[in-house]
Amino acid sequence: MASQKSKQISVLIMSTVAFTVCFMVWMIFAVIGIPIKEQLGLNETQFGILAAMPVLTGSLVRLPLGMMTDKFGGRPVFFTIMLITVIPIYLIGQATEYWQLLVAGLFVGIAGGAFSVGIAYCARWFDKKNQGFAMGVFGAGNAGAALTKLIAPSIVVAWGWTMVPTIFSVLMLVTALAFFFFTYSDPSHRVESHVTVGHQLKALKDPNVWKICQYYSIVFGGYVALALWMTKYYVQEYGFDLKSAAFLAACFSLPGGVLRALGGWFSDKYGAHKVTWSVLWVCWVCLFILSYPQTEFTVKTVTGPQTYHIYLNEYVFTALMFTVGVAMAVGKASVFKYISDDYPSNIGVISGIVGLAGGLGGFLLPIMFGALVDLTGIRSSCFMLMYGVVWVSLIWMYWTEVRDADVMRGKHELVAADNLE
């Protein structure tokens, strides 16, 4: 009979591995979408829709899957999700038309719903003081986005893009079976049977939940969107081949996944608010620099006209993206620390709502990225959009958390002064 400690470790490890594979599949069009775009002659907006299609389904199913996790437990729900996606993954490689790829992508997107299942499943196996770290370790499965960029290009070069879905479908099946045999269920982790769907959905009326959703639409939705977009960005902006571009894009995706555990540790130690506030400021500064497009201008000087070229070379660009990836990794964990602190009894539902918002951000942003490039012709317009969204979050956090904390601190200081008198 396995001990409680060994069950905790086994559940956390296998859930993280399973989520990593699910995220690899979820990001599949970030790599194979590039040869598909060339093969089908897609424009930027069409590419954005294709890349984001799995993200749409993965976002929409997060809330119902989170509710099902609270009611039935994480193990059976997680296992079922993985099995359901095996055939649609394989069918991507058999598709020949754009609409077929969109439909297959919708079904594959169910894999993205694994997050709201696994985060609640893992959190309930740990006590409150260690939940931030446990959720951070599980969330490191976001590194699957980087693994796709590291593995898929080699497969494309060797056998063509159609082989990637075939290999990924086999990987998903093997992972699902391993998850089933090496994880456990605990009936005490489920909500009471008398808790209704309506009662669970009351959380939608809580304004604090919507604020957390806004934060997560940046640190997760923005991460997903940029993870989908960066490989193509390197190819078009800097002229790299697919393998080199995917490798450089992984410099953003990899820290954005594996360092989430570090964010969980920071959140346990310093609190969700301080960490999230710092993360948003780091992202805001980096995105401001990334937003500046390649520019040439001529200045009339005493010796004649002088032309200057201002741009971010690939080294500075990659360093900035790496910094954003690290910040978003920490932020993804700190946002979920808000949930475990404020909503311990219904983590599944709240994580489903927040995950839905983050996933929708990951769906809408790539489409908006493509539309902005088609409209303006400026590739860095994607960072301009992200910069504006982060600015909204900073303002919201200031008025609802930072300012209120300053006001309360001032009141306490006045009370202390009165007492001294």
Q: Read off φ and ψ for residue 95, nearest 5 degrees.
A: -75, 145
Query: 175-230 pLDDT, tens per residue?
Result: 999 999 998 887 776 655 445 556 556 666 777 888 888 888 889 889 888 988 99
Question: What is the third-level CATH fold of 4-186+200-420?
Answer: Growth Hormone; Chain: A; (1.20.1250)
> What angle do the packed helices 260-270 and 314-342 form, to 10 degrees?
50
DSSP line for 269-329: HH-HHHHHHHHHHHHHHHHHHHTPPPEEEEEEETTEEEEEEE---HHHHHHHHHHHHHHHH
pLDDT of residue 185: 81
pLDDT of residue 198: 61
State the pLDDT confidence band at 291, using cuts at 50, 70 and 90. Answer: very high
Average pLDDT, the chain: 85
Q: Which residues contact 148 (CB under 8 A, 6 or more apart)?
A: 23, 24, 27, 28, 30, 31
**Distance set, CA 237 to CA 222, 324, 377 (Å):** 20, 19, 12
Q: What is the pTM of this model?
A: 0.75
pLDDT of residue 202: 67
